[in-house]
Amino acid sequence: MLDAIVLQILNGLDKGSAYALIALGLTLVFGTLGLVNFAHGALFMLGAFCAVAFQNLLTLSTKVKDPSVTFFDAYKDEPYLKTWFGDAGQTIIDYSAPLSLILTIPVMLAIGLVMERSLVRFFYRRSHAEQILVTFGLAIVLQEIVKAVFGANPIPVPAPPAFAGTADIGTWIGLGSGIVYPWWRLIYFGFSIAVIAGVFSFLRFTTYGMVVRAGMRDRETVGLLGIDIDRRFAVVFGLAAVVAGSAGAIYAPIVSPDYHLGMEFLVLSFVVVVVGGMGSLAGAVLAGFLLGILQSFASMNEVKEIIPGIDQVILYLAAVVVLLVRPRGLLGRAGLMES
């Protein structure tokens, strides 16, 4: 029984990590800029496709003669990297998923900044409904562009072979060998913890972050102090894009990304944000992990036998209950967006 519980908690962690990272970016943007960003799921999806693009880039191939076929001239594809660097090149290709962060971070930062400067900033003073609509339109555009470039089918991005197997977590914590868990999901969990810690320490311990937090509290006063708060908030938007994008890039080996990956996560991330409390960063992270775990418990067969279909609706149900009972969410500040 304990085995089953530990296993479900672990199962919930990788989904929960993804929810937490997306919700963190959503909340960051909402808390600083007051913007409801329906294109945030699309940023997650773009990050995953950065990993795909990077993999494609690394495996650019040339035709070489296949020496194993001797009867006739046969040709096979060989990546340039392998031709040039031999086994070292192959190792680089194997690690394309984590290495893709080299590409993802600058690309997502650029996308975030361009989005903010060219479109989003004109919507700060408009109603939430209009913000939702314009970013929803943007999300459609982004996903259709990805579909046009990469096609409609999911594209597998393999995890590095060193992490392809499963970790024997049960024996580590002394519960026997019954509990195994894929390495890459464990790494994803560690990565998300690192990113979350990074974002929080950036806001907590740097002067830049302090100003941003001050701006979240009272934008006008910070502006009156002679600080260009708009510029800082634009950077925050870029940061949120980077968080979502890198989350997507590292998530790519877990689910082969396709173009509507973003939409699938978007709705759920909003649920997460609402449960955590609009505008509360810690709440978003907490709710992300909690809901991930809740979902994996709900998809246990034992639970499904009692309440059929519960795994399909549990997160929405959680959101509905939270919104009706405690509209400020788990850790939301009283009075903020509570109408």
Partner 1 sequence: MRALIGSRDAILVAVLAAAVLTMPFWLAPIGAGYPDLLQRFAIYGIFAIGFNILFGLTGYLSFGHAAFLGVGSYATMWSFKLLTMNALPAILLSAVLAGVAAAVIGFFSLKRAGIYFSILTLAFAQMSYNLAYSVLTPITNGETGLRVIRGDPHILDRAVGWQEGDSLPNPDFFGLNLSGWAGFYFCAVVLIVAFVIALRITRSPLGLTLRAIKSNQTRMGYVGFHTRPYTLAAFVISGMYAGLAGSLLVVTDPLVGAERMQWTASGEVVLMTILGGVGTLTGPLIGAAVIKYFENVFSSFNEQTLQQAFSFLPEPLATATARILGLFVGSGWELTLGVVFMLVVIFQPQGIVHGAGRIGRAVRPSSAGPNGPVERQPAE
State the sign of the Cα–Cα–Cα–Cα dihedral 189, 192, 197, 198.
positive
Give Cβ neighbours of residue 327 (< 8 Å, ≥ 6 apart).
338
Residue 253 in 3-state DSSP?
coil
Residues of span 21-60 touching partner 1 by CB under 8 A: 36
Nearer to partner 1, 226 or 309 (CB): 309
Quote the DSSP letter at residue 75: E
The torsion region of residue 183 among left (phi > 0), alpha (psi -120 to 50) and beta comes to: alpha
Nearest distance from C-beta of residue 217 to partner 1, angstroms: 21
First to last CA, the chain: 43
Nearest distance from C-beta of residue 167 to partner 1, angstroms: 31
Q: Is 120 in the site for partner 1 (CB under 8 A)?
A: no
Phi, psi (5° rounding) for residue 65?
Answer: -75, 135
Nearer to partner 1, 139 or 157 (CB): 139
Nearer to partner 1, 237 or 270 (CB): 270
Q: Is 339 in the site for partner 1 (CB under 8 A)?
A: yes
Among 317, 330, 331, 333, binds partner 1 (CB under 8 A): 317
Among 56, 59, 113, 136, binds partner 1 (CB under 8 A): 136
Q: Is 309 in the site for partner 1 (CB under 8 A)?
A: yes
Q: Is there a contact between 290 and 297 (Cβ–Cβ < 8 Å)?
A: no
Beta bridge partners of 257: none
Nearer to partner 1, 97 or 272 (CB): 272
Buried b (16+ CB within 10 A) or exposed e, 276-311: bbbbbbebbbbbbbbbbbbbbbbbbeeeeeeeeebb
Residues of span 54-113 touching partner 1 by CB under 8 A: none
**Hey, what are 91's tokens?**
């190792």
**Which listed range, 9-17, 83-91, 185-193, 321-329, lies at the site for partner 1 (CB under 8 A)?**
321-329
Nearest distance from C-beta of residue 133 to partner 1, angstroms: 5
Nearer to partner 1, 49 or 184 (CB): 49
Nearer to partner 1, 64 or 320 (CB): 320
Residues of span 140-159 touching partner 1 by CB under 8 A: 140-141, 144-145, 147-148
Q: Is 137 in the site for partner 1 (CB under 8 A)?
A: yes
Structure-derived torsion over alpha carbons of residues 132, 12, 250, 61, reported in degrees to the nearest 10: -110
Q: Is 130 in the site for partner 1 (CB under 8 A)?
A: yes
Q: Is 274 in the site for partner 1 (CB under 8 A)?
A: yes
**Which listed range, 75-83, 185-193, 206-214, 311-319, lies at the site for partner 1 (CB under 8 A)?**
311-319
Nearer to partner 1, 235 or 267 (CB): 267
Nearer to partner 1, 167 or 278 (CB): 278
* 217 Cα distance to chain centroid: 26
Q: Is there a contact between 236 and 33 (Cβ–Cβ < 8 Å)?
A: yes
Nearer to partner 1, 113 or 119 (CB): 119
- Please report, for residues 8, 37, 46, 112, 186, the alpha-carbon distance to residue 33 in angstroms, rounded to integers and kept in the order given: 36, 10, 22, 13, 33
What is the per-residue binding string for partner 1 in 282-301, x denoting contact by CB under 8 A? --------------------
Half-sphere exposure for 251 (CA within 13 Å, toward CB)? 30
- Residue whose tokens read 């690309």: 107
Residues of this chain that bind partner 1 (CB under 8 A) = 36, 119, 122, 126, 128-130, 132-134, 136-141, 144-145, 147-148, 263, 267, 270-271, 274, 278, 308-309, 312-313, 316-317, 319-320, 323-324, 327, 337, 339
